[in-house]
Amino acid sequence: MEDKKVIHIISHTHWDREWYLPYEKHHVLLTKLMDRLLETLESNPDFKSFHLDGQTIILDDYLQIYPDTREKLQTFVKEERLHIGPWYILQDEFLTSSEANIRNLQYGMKDAARWGGVAKIGYFPDSFGNIGQAPQILSQAGINNAVFGRGVKPTGFNNAVSEAENFESPYSEMLWRSPDGSSVLGILFANWYCNGNEVPTNEIQAQKYWDHHIASLEKYAATPHMLMLNGCDHQPIQTDLPEAIRTAEKLYPNIEFVHSNFNDYVDKLAATRPENLKVIDGELRSQQTDGWGTLVNTASARVYIKQMNQLNQALLEKVAEPLSVFAYLQGEDYQHHLIEYAWKTLMQNHPHDSICGCSVDEVHREMVTRFEKSKHVAEMIIDESLESISEKISTAIFEKWGDDALPFTVYNTTGWNRTGVVSITLDIRRDYFATGVNKQELKEFPLGERTLVDDTGTEYQYKAEDLGIFFDYDLPEEKFRQPYMARRIRLTFEAKKVPALGYKTYAWVSAAKHKDPSSLIVNENEMENKFVNVKINENGSLTVTDKANRRTFEELCVYEDTGDIGNEYMYKQPNNEKALTTKDLIAKVNIIEDTPFQAAYEIVHEWEIPKSAADILEKEQKELVWFTGRTSERTEETVPFVIKTVVTLEKNSKGINVKTSYNNQAKDHRLRALFPTDIQTDVHYADSIFEIAKRANEPSQEWANPDHSQHQQAFVDVRNDIEGLTIANLGLNEYEIIRDGRNTIAVTLLRSVGELGDWGYFATPEAQCLGEHSVSFRIYPHEGKADTTKAYQDAYQYQVPWSLKQTGLHDGELLPVHSFLQWESSNLAFSSMKVSEQSGDVMVRWFNMADESDTLIVKSSAPFHDAYISNVIEGKGKSLHADGNEGVQVPVRKYEIVTVGFEK
Ligand SMILES: [Zn+2]
């Protein structure tokens, strides 16, 4: 006998905190929804429960206006009538960093626990695709399921059903598996998350409603348990749902209707699911569709937002946190509250409608302020940590150069030893207001003959710039502010092999400077170091030769400009348009830097591009002509577009830095940098969340969109066994592998569009991104498969700013060169180092980039007592015993995310 069918009706609302309205307007509406919800839960015991959209921040948002409701909310959470968490916000998974995805879960679960309980549901209702490592992250957090609205072959509303085609999964239930082998029960909202919206109470209407809905539900359900979501985007509560359920019960006596919640539904589903659920592997990016509904071009909407996000994330997770750990190991407090505040402020920019750049202009203006706020807190934490550690480093070794030696420390907070050009400003004399300022003396203060040395006395070539006299101040903790005037200089030099998660100390000292006449410039418009040769061609493109395998890449960094008549979500080139490129322009080329440790050229393209799309575009937008059906072309009228490209080669780095600047005065277009690889391969690799995702160059058969753009984090790599080209970037999240027979990597630098898109017409003039822009990327040729760990390490280091701090001549318990944590492996990437608030232990995270198991060896000079295997929510697992001098050894599965806890 067949089991009785059960329809689980879950009340919810999907709350985009900001989107087609600015934050505060949605916020006001939220308070009305919450008022009504509390009133309903209080007055109607039959209204069983409400799912608060998987994000705890909604409670904070409500309390901002109604702080007195805290107790009431808490009671409903404890009684399981309000289901909250596990996330802090509903992030875009691809456009936020690996660590940001984890912090979102950590802070969300922490807050939910404080409220009284967390709904252990891997909730991704509206994500624009899902990351491949989500099942592993959720499993480590004790969550055995994931519910999502997009990514696998769509099987219902909002995503047209086509009977003729094969679905990726015949059911809305499946097993979703990460590349390491972890899997969770995956549930696709086959009929979208509004499929149980506005259930009628009236019998006649209800009959019609249910006949239709039951048929849709049965189409995809693998078990008798079926899911109806009573709610939609910003949907007010259906307060008479209990009555509507009673009507349904009367009409369909053979079906059980439950006002349910996700925990119960998932439990029932897990208990009754068939054995043969299909296994779906890795990333869910709607690749088995026609490609017009993936929303992937949100990766290039408002690039400036992505750049700010990259910098903020790097400052918090790759600089402020590790530096705070260094200070913590020297006895300072770890500033959990401040760090949490900075993260939460940053994460308020991470919801899918925010970081994706697909909201109205006011939203993105407010985001800029949030980025600044988060950055300012991070900078304060960084400064304080640097101050505290630098004071404890012994610099006495430099006294032998005289008491006018000016020591400073270069910090490397990446997970690998690091070499690169750095700059520091040094105050060579300070006159405090309290003791009297002599500006004339400051100005004339003799620099003398000086040189730059490290702790071993090794001399470094450097460039010094006299910055003159400067006003500045100290803010002592126990005294009033101390203003001063200083004579300031800037030193630029190449720091070599600064230890991973550590530092190296240098000093500018009085001594004869050894002159080095060498240069990296070897010919006209040509520079070279021991790794690569870079030639600048007449059209401004680069010819780069990898000296290790003598492989030459031609025509790198040609710019391409096309029209874009799409919207913030999707790119659409006008029909029959041919792309413009800088291939046939003559560029101006100038040397702008020539020192023994670094050379740089500036390349200027004076280009003209169409001013905008023709006027008909605005008409088509206003008349809601869907972007795929628009007929607009670009105007004949052009505007000047001057691109300045600075290409820099450092003496001891293989990567070539490129910084491109322009003042954009054109609308409705997309600018990309092109890198033909001429490498024959069917796949490529893109940095994603704890994963180097292997993706096919060719889209699926049903893909109809001529554009095949994809998401990236730090880099994209095209390679075979013997040669490869990695293009790393700072906050440029979109690339395409062009199907031109050359496997050209195209990186989107700018996308200018005038409307939001989606369900109506919302003008977004600021999404045209007019004005000054500057973008950065790095070209790294390599020797193919065996060389990728090095190439990817270089790309990850490129993301992280150096930290430098001037200090005085003093004794200290720390050596002049030091690493706080040393580790080794074949294929692991370092991800983060922080302190757990619960345990006070130092948590360090890596992930395995390769499809083979590995061993992590950690040798620490820090005063750790014991180490253990932890997880993404900082739980305590198996103890790890240090093996004498060998350090702690940890076996790591392929693609595993591994967190180790160290007890202080
Ligand atoms: Zn949404």
The pLDDT of residue 627 is 97
pLDDT at 152: 82
At 705-740, the pLDDT tens digits run 999 999 999 999 999 999 999 999 999 999 999 999
Other Cβ atoms within 10 Å of 536 Cβ, number: 21
CA of 154 from ligand 1 middle (Å) equals: 17
Reported as a single tens digit per residue, the pLDDT across 617-646 is 999 999 999 999 999 999 999 999 999 999
Rounded distance, CA 882 to CA 886, Å?
A: 7
Q: Where does the pLDDT of residue 157 fall: very low under 50, low under 70, confident under 90, or very high at 90 and above?
A: very low
Residue 163 predicted with pLDDT over 50: no
* Contact present, 589 and 644 (Cβ < 8 Å): no
Q: How far is the CA of 352 from the centre of ligand 1 (A)?
A: 6
Give DSSP secondary structure letters for 446-467: ---SEEEEETT--EE-EEEEEE
State how far the Cα of 510 lies from the Cα of 160, in Å rounded to an integer.
75
Instruction: Give me ligand 1 centre to Cα 553, in Å.
Output: 42
Mean pLDDT, rounded, for 830-850 = 97
What residue type is assigned to position 150 of the chain?
Answer: R
- Check pLDDT > 50 for residue 42: yes
CB 754 within 8 A of CB 302: no
| Model pLDDT for residues 51-101, shown as the tens digit of each residue | 999 999 999 999 999 999 999 999 999 999 999 999 999 999 999 999 999
pLDDT digits (tens, 9 = 90+) for 295-333: 999 999 999 999 999 999 999 999 999 999 999 999 999
How sure is the predictor about 222, in pLDDT bands with cuts at 50, 70 and 90? confident
Spell out where 783-903 has E strands. 803-806, 817-819, 822-824, 828-835, 842-848, 854-859, 866-870, 879-880, 888-892, 897-903
Share of the chain above pLDDT 90, in %: 92
Task: Tell me the C-alpha to C-alpha distance, in Å, between residue 580 and each of 556, 594, 706.
Answer: 16, 33, 17
Each residue's pLDDT tens digit, 394-423: 999 999 999 999 999 999 999 999 999 999
Backbone angles phi, psi at 514, to 5 degrees: -80, 125
HEC secondary structure over 277-293: CCEEECCECCCCCCCCC
Mean pLDDT, range 657-671, rounded to an integer: 98
> Tens of pLDDT along 166-175?
456 777 889 9
Least confident interval from 454-458, 512-516, 541-545: 512-516
Please give the distance, rounded to the nearest whole angstrom, from the Cα atom of residue 796 to the centre of ligand 1.
30
Q: Which residues are catalytic?
A: 126
> Ligand 1 centroid to 545 CA: how many Å?
46
* DSSP structural state of residue 47: S
- DSSP 3-state of 575: coil
| Mean pLDDT computed over 186-207 | 93
Q: What confidence tens digit (pLDDT) does each residue in 349-374 have?
A: 999 999 999 999 999 999 999 999 99
Q: How far apart are CA 190 and CA 151, in angstroms?
A: 11
How wide is the angle at C-alpha 341 spanned by C-alphas 31 and 233, nearest 5°? 35
Q: Is the pLDDT of residue 238 over 50?
A: yes
Query: CA angle, 93 as apex, 90 and 98 as ends, to 5°?
Result: 115
C-alpha 789, offset from chain centre: 20
pTM, to two decimals: 0.97
Distance (angstroms) between ligand 1 centre and the Cα of 199 equals 22
Q: Per residue in 165-194, is it b (16+ CB within 10 Å) or e — as a string?
A: eebbbbbbbbbbbbbbebbbbbbbbbbbbb
Per-residue pLDDT tens for 562-595?
999 999 999 999 999 999 999 999 999 999 999 9
What torsion do the CA atoms of 190, 283, 843, 58 make, to the nearest 10 degrees?
-30
pLDDT at 15 over 90: yes
Cα 14 to middle of ligand 1, angstroms: 6
Burial class of 90 by CB neighbour count within 10 A (0 to 12, 13 to 18, 19+): buried
Instruction: Give the total residue count for the chain.
Output: 904
What's the CA-to-centroid distance between 102 and ligand 1, angstroms?
20
Ligand 1 centre from 51 Cα, in Å? Answer: 15
Per-residue pLDDT, 1? 41
Ligand 1 centroid to Cα of residue 126, in Å, is 5
Cα-to-centroid distance, 881 and ligand 1 (Å): 46
In angstroms, the CA 415 to CA 382 distance is 17
Query: In the chain, how long is the greatest CA-to-CA distance?
Result: 99
From ligand 1's centre to the CA of 92, what distance in Å?
A: 10
DSSP 793-820: HHHHHHTS--EEEE--S---SB-SEEES
Would you say residue 162 has pLDDT above 60? no
Q: How far is the CA of 234 from the centre of ligand 1 (A)?
A: 9
Structure tokens given for 122: 């891997």
Quote the mean pLDDT of the chain. Answer: 95
Using only the alpha carbons of the chain, give its radius of gyration.
29
Q: How much distance in Å is there from the Cα of 67 to the middle of ligand 1?
A: 26
Q: Could you give the angle at which helices 98-115 and 70-78 cross, rounded to 10 degrees?
A: 90
pLDDT digits (tens, 9 = 90+) for 462-512: 999 999 999 999 999 999 999 999 999 999 999 999 999 999 999 999 999
Closest CA to 326 of 379, 374, 384, 377: 384
Question: pLDDT tens digits for 759-784?
Answer: 999 999 999 999 999 999 999 999 99
Using DSSP's 3-state secondary structure scheme, residue 264 falls into helix
Residue whose pair of structure tokens reads 């993404």 in the numeric block: 872
Three-state secondary structure call for residue 432: strand
The whole-angstrom separation of Cα 538 and Cα 561 is 19
Task: Quote the DSSP letter at residue 876.
Answer: -
Residue corresponding to tokens 């060998």: 886
